[in-house]
Structure 1
Amino acid sequence: MPETTSRPVPEVSIIPLSGDALEAHLDALSAILVASVDAGAAISFLQPLDPLAARAFWTENVFPQVRRGNRVLLAAVSGDTAVGTVQLETRLPPNQPHRCEVSKMAVHPHHRRRGIARSLMQALEGHARARGKTLITLDTKTGDAAQSLYASLGYTEAGIVPGFALDPDGKRLHSTTYMYKAL
């Protein structure tokens, strides 16, 4: 019988990205986005996601908000490479200074089922608390694996909007579930 060997799983660190680290991780962040959408993640993009469009999303939409202090960008890093990411939108309307929103949770398909998404969310909640936030909201594709993860972390379903967005393949509409957690 052949001997089987298992490779050790590299340790993953959760780090906030800012300054020069944004550009240093741009290629990996773009790869996470492209691979996640290609694997069916409902995170606002359609398949196939052009790698240039993924780069533009980070450089034009996310990085400027991080630099202004309106958003926290976390990365799960294995070795020197980002393998997962999540964002915390912290600057909301003036009547909502206590609240923040989770945005674009994505773990590269080759790194899923290792607790990375859970670690990202737990770190994100720590950043929210450090900023004095007492309520986190998010939305997710109804019935998606992420919904179960969020529920296991103490997020409560607030409601479902049917026909909210197209599936990544562009063929069908799916419902979106809004969830919240008091910190």
Structure 2
Amino acid sequence: MQVSSSLSIERVDAGEAECILPELAALLHACVHDGASIGFILPFGIEDAAGFWRGTILPALVSGGRILFIARQGGALAGSVQLVVDTPPNQPHRVEASKLLVDPAFRRRGIARALMGALEGEARSLGRSLITLDTRTGDRAEPLYAALGFSVAGIIPGYCRDPFHDHLDATTVMYKRL
């Protein structure tokens, strides 16, 4: 999907993801080092980032449990987001948005919004009627999700460790009905 003359959003399968693994690892590494609360803490090396994609995401892409979208701007990998479709049998109507990443060098250009638009379109095409996600309370992404129509379900205190400091942050659980 071409978003602008230099921004494109692509759905990437496991084989394609494996081919761009170094780029995906660099994207994750940059976001974690910029303070993104996405499940990792420092120290976090490029090998750790590659290991996450190789050991967790590639198998989920192969099994069909996740769908990966990437954003390219001017040919460079600028961001990614994952749609978790592997939900329990009592939740066939729901999907989860996971690991929205935008390289710090590409922020404030509409990339996150475009990625979330592709994710939402895919959820609709799959017949899903609910998207859920969680984000660190007060994080930069929280206002974006609200602007995209997500509502706050609640806040869980002490949910995750801050990537830089030894303290626990709250998370905001959000949802959007399609």
Report the alpha carbon displacement of residue 10 of structure 1 after superposing the two structures with TM: 7.2
The equivalent position to 2:93 in structure 1, one of 89, 98, 113, is 98
| Structure 2 runs not aligned, ≥5 long | none
The equivalent position to 2:54 in structure 1, one of 53, 59, 64, is 59
| Structure 1 runs not aligned, ≥5 long | 1-8
Q: Is the 8 A contact 1:83 1:108 kept in 2?
A: yes
The equivalent position to 1:129 in structure 2, one of 108, 119, 124, is 124
Q: Is the 8 A contact 1:25 1:81 kept in 2?
A: no
**Which amino acid in structure 2 is aligned with residue 171 of structure 1?**
D
Deviations 1:70-124 (A, max 9, x none): 1101100124332101100001100000000011111110011101001000110
1:109 paired to 2:104: yes
Q: Which residue of structure 2 lines up, in the alignment, with residue 171 of structure 1? A: 166
Q: Which residue of structure 2 lines up, in the alignment, with residue 29 of structure 1? A: 24
Cα distance in 2 for partners of 1:59, 1:98 equals 28
Cα distance in 2 for partners of 1:110, 1:100 equals 29
Secondary structure of the 2:152 match is strand
Give the greater-gyration-radius structure (CA): 1
74-83 vs 85-94, which deviates more? Answer: 74-83
TM-score, normalised with respect to structure 1: 0.92
Secondary structure of the 1:84 match is strand
Q: Which residue of structure 1 lines up, in the alignment, with residue 75 of structure 2? A: 80
**Which amino acid in structure 2 is aligned with residue 82 of structure 1?**
L
Q: Which residue of structure 2 lines up, in the alignment, with residue 45 of structure 1? A: 40
Report the alpha carbon displacement of residue 171 of structure 1 after superposing the two structures with TM: 2.1
CA RMSD of aligned residues (A): 1.3
Q: Which runs of 4+ in 1 moved over 3 A?
A: none
Cα distance in 2 for partners of 1:167, 1:73 equals 25
Q: Is the 8 A contact 1:14 1:75 kept in 2?
A: yes
The equivalent position to 2:176 in structure 1, one of 165, 178, 181, is 181
Secondary structure of the 1:119 match is helix
TM-score, normalised with respect to structure 2: 0.94
Q: Percent identity?
A: 48
